[in-house]
Structures are given as structure tokens and as C-alpha cells.
């Protein structure tokens, strides 16, 4: 049986791909689609420009599509710049905490952070975080005892929150576009976010594929 577009994941240098037609079908099937746009902070200038262009193209091509990012420098900022050039109000930012990168605040965008979660919602996100990245269990279990771990855990919870959705305003995304380190796509917070996508069967698209959409 042919695998559906909604269950595919895309990996650098693999035979599994998501074409633009696959992506378009996902968008058209959703009554209120959201796509996650993000990746590594260290992004080459050429790919920064491509990320801006692909986000701008998607914003123009799909007027009902909303875009979610994590408020980080590099890839997050590049994708956000593309959306901003079309419609600020369709941009969702999940920051690790209120006031994060205040200098880069985007008027008109919708912001949220783990601080808005109830204790029960936060615990659910922690369990989803550990399901995707069990190596972080010691951090999560001691996060309230060590200040450094408290801050690190907040970023991980934020990364999970971007993917899983938590209100009608912030539903589960239909797909996720990433700029990743070609040598190690699973490292750091970006790698964790990709694993959460896989756990939730959200297709991911890396730069070797989405750049073709241009």
C-alpha cells in the first residue's frame, strides 16, 4: 500500500520525499492549516535567503495557511521574515518565555509560551518531550533543583509545545519545514523538535527538498 503524504518524513539524502503537490494536498485537506517553520541558528547566507523566499511563496500561495516558529535567531528568523513580508497576522511565535528576544518582537504576530500552560498541561508536554528524547529524563527530573537545568528544560518544553498544539488557536501543524545541519540533523533542540514531529506523525521537510519548491 502506498504511504500517505501525511505519514511521510523527509531526510537528507534519503529516498523519502514530500513533493510540493504532497504539501499542497495536506494544506487543502485542513480547514485551518498551520505549518511549522524552523531549524538551526547557524544557517548559511544562501539558505537564509532561500528560507525567506519559500516562506514568502507559501504565504502568498496559501492565504488560509498560518505559520509557527520558535523565535530563535537563524532559520526561525529567516522563515519569519518571509511570512512578515506577506501577512504579519498569520505568524505564530512560541517563545520559551515572555519577553524572549524582545528586541525582535513582531507586532501583529500571535505569541505564546509555556508560561501560559496549566500544571497538568505542562506535565503532559514533559511526558511527550521524554517520549521523543528520553535522554533528557535526568534534566527533567531535576529541573526545579538546578537553575541552569530549569532554563534548558523550558526550551525543550517550548520545542515540544510548537509541535503538539495546545489550544484551538494553536493546533497541531500539518507539516514542518526545517533547515538542518546536513552532517547531523538530529542534534540539539532542532533534532528534538524533529523527533517530536515523528512521534506525532507530522511530516518533516528538510532543505534538500523544500528548496526545490522555489
Q: Give phi and psi for 40, each to the nearest 5.
A: -65, 145
Provide the grid cell at 43. Answer: 544557517
Report the pLDDT value the prediction gives residue 109, as an integer from 0 to 100: 94
Report the pLDDT value the prediction gives residue 12, as an integer from 0 to 100: 44
∠ CA 123-125-130, rounded to 5°? 95
Provide the grid cell at 113. Answer: 509560551
CATH of domain 5-213: 3.40.50
Tell me which residue of 22, 21, 1, 69 sits closest to 203, measured CA to CA: 22
End-to-end Cα separation, the chain, in angstroms? 30
Report the pLDDT value the prediction gives residue 105, as an integer from 0 to 100: 86
Report the pLDDT value the prediction gives residue 16, as an integer from 0 to 100: 59
Sequential pLDDT tens for the chain (214 residues): 333 333 334 444 443 589 999 999 999 999 999 999 999 999 999 999 999 999 999 999 999 999 999 999 999 999 999 999 999 999 999 999 998 988 888 899 999 999 999 999 999 999 999 999 999 999 999 988 888 888 889 999 999 999 998 888 999 999 999 999 988 888 889 999 999 999 999 999 999 999 999 9
| Domains of the chain, residue spans | 5-213
Q: Give Rg (Cα) of the chain.
A: 16
Report the pLDDT value the prediction gives residue 7, as an integer from 0 to 100: 35
* DSSP assignment letter at 2: P
Taking CA atoms, 60 is separated from 9, 82, 111, 199, in Å, by: 25, 10, 22, 30
Report the pLDDT value the prediction gives residue 166, as an integer from 0 to 100: 86
* DSSP assignment letter at 94: E
Amino acid at each position: 500500500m502506498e504511504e500517505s503524504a501525511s505519514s511521510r518524513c523527509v531526510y537528507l539524502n534519503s529516498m523519502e520525499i514530500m513533493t510540493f503537490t504532497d504539501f499542497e494536498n495536506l494544506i487543502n485537506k485542513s480547514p485551518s492549516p498551520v505549518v511549522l517553520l524552523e531549524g538551526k541558528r547557524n544557517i548559511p547566507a544562501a539558505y537564509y535567503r532561500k528560507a525567506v523566499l519559500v516562506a514568502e511563496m507559501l504565504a502568498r500561495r496559501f492565504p488560509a495557511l498560518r505559520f509557527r516558529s520558535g523565535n530563535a535567531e537563524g532559520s526561525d528568523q529567516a522563515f519569519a521574515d518571509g511570512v512578515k513580508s506577506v501577512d504579519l497576522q498569520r505568524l505564530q511565535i512560541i517563545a520559551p518565555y515572555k519577553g524572549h528576544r524582545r528586541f525582535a518582537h513582531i507586532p501583529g504576530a500571535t505569541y505564546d509560551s509555556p508560561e501560559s500552560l496549566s500544571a497538568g498541561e505542562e506535565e503532559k508536554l514533559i511526558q511527550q518531550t521524554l517520549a521523543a528524547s528520553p535522554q533528557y529524563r535526568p534534566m527533567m527530573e531535576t529541573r526545579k533543583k538546578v537553575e541552569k537545568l530549569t532554563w534548558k528544560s523550558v526550551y525543550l518544553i517550548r520545542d515540544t509545545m510548537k509541535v503538539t498544539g495546545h489550544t484551538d488557536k494553536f493546533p497541531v501543524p500539518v507539516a514542518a519545514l526545517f533547515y538542518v545541519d546536513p552532517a547531523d540533523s538530529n542534534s540539539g533542540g532542532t533534532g528534538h523538535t524533529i523527533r517530536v514531529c515523528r512521534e506525532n506523525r507530522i511530516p518533516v521537510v528538510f532543505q534538500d527538498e523544500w528548496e526545490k519548491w522555489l
